[in-house]
């Protein structure tokens, strides 16, 4: 009985007489559990204690129990333990012994593990003593895919994109299940108007996306004292001190499964904040909610002109894949079936580092499954930003505009000629670029470029390609620029990638250049080369120097690379 005195001093007004310590529990004891099987009604099910497993984790025990009953057809004897029952309070002789939290897949009987109430209540002391800042950006995969694990939380996802794109559905399933979540791709849009009594046994959880699509996880409330709650009996993300939205839920049905049955539900809007996410459960407070990242996706096409509004939790691992889901959902929602199309995307990111910044990105994809391609091209820069090594980044706002055309728009560069083979520094040169559209006609475009006055005598190589290919060629020529040396350089790299509808004409001379701190100094003076080329990790020599750059923007994707050699003379 060494834990009785501890219960008397907890912040929650818990009297030891209403609790039963794990040391008092014996095999054969019978009791009840509480959870929601339908709508919001809290109902009882039967519990029989099998045994107590001591020291399963440091100072952690698990109470093994056999479940039965419940209002579902055939009872728990037919469905087995149900995902979504995590946190269901279990009572013996009216005393709370803990929360339903663990099970095994493919069991022939509804056998579960119960987290003792003592371990759950310890979260309160941890919360009182914790002076750390919320770690919403830091928690990682729990890697809970094994034979003995906590009961996964059903994760309802209301996204038509997941039915149109089975490859992405599988990828998302694998990713989220690594956090101990069970993706259910038929979740409802919400039940905000239904009154819900937040008592032990009620459905609670957290939301990852809300707005025109919702992604939310559900479990069960274990204990409430005023506006404070404890629940689940296991972590959501094992995030420690966090600030996650707290939601309630409406259970539509229990879906029986041989692997693991689960609750089909709709989430409410946030009703509070989860502040602790620990191994033995979660702690939250009803009332004030936590800010989420606002995300707007504007869709412009021949069929529609609309704006979808979402909010997402901010997390360096979850936000990219959640944004991917949001983009795909927006495209599919307006009727596109992920077939052949051309999508031009403009994205504005508002971020906060040491100060606020605005980053503008433009991307364009054309061809089959361009929706998937444009989503990846927009998500990758955000993943690089929030996982960068230079500065801590907070994403404050994301605005995306997608212009969609249901046909392929691609132009191939096939030819490059100039009006003269020999030029002088400062000359004007007219070049003709041969272009062929996809399944279309051949055309030419004449462009005048200026030969820089500082161009040295000798060979001048002109290369024409899209901006994305040009940047990759630049990285091959100067691999030292692959790794950004500062946050500013990282942003420059991000803004240069993906511009496949921009044609660039680049001119190179066969004279050595210098790359300093990932920045190229094209055709530097000889004395500067001698000073900078002393052995340094941040300095590198290039075998050629960029001498000119001319850009043109098109309404289609540019593909292909052509080159032309000229002679520069005095």
pTM of the model: 0.81
Residues 105, 125: Cα–Cα separation, whole Å:
33
- The structure tokens 């094992």 sit at 238
pLDDT at residue 405, as a whole number: 86
Sign of CA dihedral 172, 174, 180, 186: positive
Domain boundaries, the chain: 4-123, 135-286, 295-405, 410-568
Any residues with CB less than 8 A from the CB of 442 and at least 6 apart, and which?
Answer: 414, 434, 435, 436
> Which residue from 218, 230, 326, 311 is spatially nearest to 267, judged by alpha carbons?
218
Count of C-beta atoms within a 10 Å radius of residue 529: 16
Euclidean distance between CA atoms 460 and 547, whole angstroms: 9
pLDDT confidence of residue 402? 93
pLDDT of the chain, 570 residues: tens digit per residue = 333 333 333 445 555 569 999 999 999 999 999 999 999 999 999 999 999 998 877 778 899 999 999 999 999 999 999 999 999 999 999 999 999 999 988 888 999 999 999 999 999 988 887 766 666 555 555 544 444 467 888 878 776 666 556 666 677 777 777 777 888 866 555 566 667 889 999 999 999 999 988 889 999 999 999 999 999 999 998 888 999 999 999 999 999 988 889 999 988 889 999 999 998 999 999 999 999 999 999 998 877 889 999 999 988 888 998 999 899 888 887 765 566 788 999 999 999 888 888 999 888 888 887 888 888 889 998 998 888 888 888 899 999 999 988 888 889 999 999 999 999 999 899 999 999 988 778 889 999 999 999 888 999 999 999 988 888 887 777 766 557 788 888 888 888 777 888 899 999 988 776 665 555 665 555 544 444 444 444 556 667 888 889 988 888 888 899 999 999 888
Class of domain 4-123: mainly beta
pLDDT for the residue numbered 5:
32
Quote the pLDDT of residue 280: 92
3-state SS assignment for residue 284? strand
Residue 46 pLDDT: 97
Distance CA 100, CA 220 (A): 9
Helix (H, G, I), strand (E, B) or coil at 99: strand
Closest alpha carbon to 475 in 564, 542, 376: 542
């Amino acid at each position: 009985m060494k834990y009785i005195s501890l219960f008397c001093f907890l912040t929650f007004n818990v009297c030891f007489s209403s609790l039963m310590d794990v040391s008092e529990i014996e095999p054969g004891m019978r009791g009840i559990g509480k959870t929601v099987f339908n709508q919001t009604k809290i109902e009882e099910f039967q519990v029989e204690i099998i045994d107590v497993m001591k020291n399963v984790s440091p100072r952690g025990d698990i109470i093994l129990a056999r479940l039965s009953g419940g209002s579902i057809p055939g009872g728990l004897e037919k469905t087995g333990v149900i995902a979504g029952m995590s946190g269901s309070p279990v009572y013996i002789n009216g005393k709370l012994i803990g929360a339903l939290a663990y099970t095994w897949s493919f069991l022939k009987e509804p056998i579960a593990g119960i987290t003792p109430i003592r371990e759950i209540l310890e979260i309160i002391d941890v919360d009182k003593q914790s002076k750390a800042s919320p770690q919403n950006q830091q928690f990682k995969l729990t890697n809970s895919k094994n034979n003995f694990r906590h009961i996964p939380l059903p994760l309802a996802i209301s996204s038509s994109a997941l039915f149109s794109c089975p490859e992405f559905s599988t990828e998302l399933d694998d990713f989220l299940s690594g956090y101990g979540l069970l993706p259910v791709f038929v979740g409802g849009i919400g039940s905000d108007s239904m009154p819900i009594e937040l008592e032990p046994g009620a459905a609670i959880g957290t939301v990852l996306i809300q707005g025109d699509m919702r992604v939310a996880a559900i479990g069960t409330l274990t204990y409430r004292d005023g506006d404070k709650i404890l629940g689940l009996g296991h972590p959501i993300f094992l995030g420690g001190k966090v600030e996650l939205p707290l939601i309630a839920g409406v259970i539509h049905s229990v879906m029986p499964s041989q692997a693991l049955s689960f609750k089909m539900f709709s989430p409410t809007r946030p009703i509070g904040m989860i502040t602790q996410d620990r191994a033995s459960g979660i702690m939250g407070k009803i009332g004030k909610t936590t800010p989420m990242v606002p995300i707007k996706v504007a869709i412009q096409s021949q069929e529609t002109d609309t704006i979808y509004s979402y909010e997402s939790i901010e997390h360096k691992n979850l936000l990219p894949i959640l944004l991917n889901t949001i983009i795909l959902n927006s495209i599919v929602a307006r009727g596109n079936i992920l077939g052949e199309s051309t999508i031009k995307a403009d994205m504005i990111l508002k971020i906060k580092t040491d100060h606020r910044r605005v980053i503008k990105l433009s991307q364009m994809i054309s061809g089959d499954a361009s929706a998937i391609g444009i989503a990846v091209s927009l998500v990758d820069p955000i993943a690089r930003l929030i996982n960068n090594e230079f500065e801590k980044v907070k994403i404050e706002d994301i605005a995306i505009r997608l212009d969609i055309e249901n046909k392929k728009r691609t132009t191939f560069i096939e030819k490059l000629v100039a009006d003269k083979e020999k030029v002088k520094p400062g000359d004007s040169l007219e070049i003709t670029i041969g272009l062929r559209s996809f399944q279309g006609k051949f055309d030419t475009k004449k462009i005048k470029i200026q030969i820089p006055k500082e161009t040295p005598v000798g060979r001048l190589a002109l290369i024409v390609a899209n901006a994305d290919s040009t940047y990759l060629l630049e990285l091959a020529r100067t691999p030292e620029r692959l790794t950004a040396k500062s946050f500013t350089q990282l942003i420059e790299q991000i803004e240069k990638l993906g511009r496949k509808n921009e044609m660039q004409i680049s001119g190179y001379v066969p004279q050595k250049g210098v790359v300093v701190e990932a920045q190229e100094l094209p055709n530097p003076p000889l004395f500067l080369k001698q000073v900078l080329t002393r052995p340094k990790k941040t300095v590198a020599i290039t075998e050629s120097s960029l001498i000119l750059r001319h850009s043109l923007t098109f309404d289609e994707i540019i593909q292909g690379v052509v080159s032309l050699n000229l002679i520069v003379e005095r």
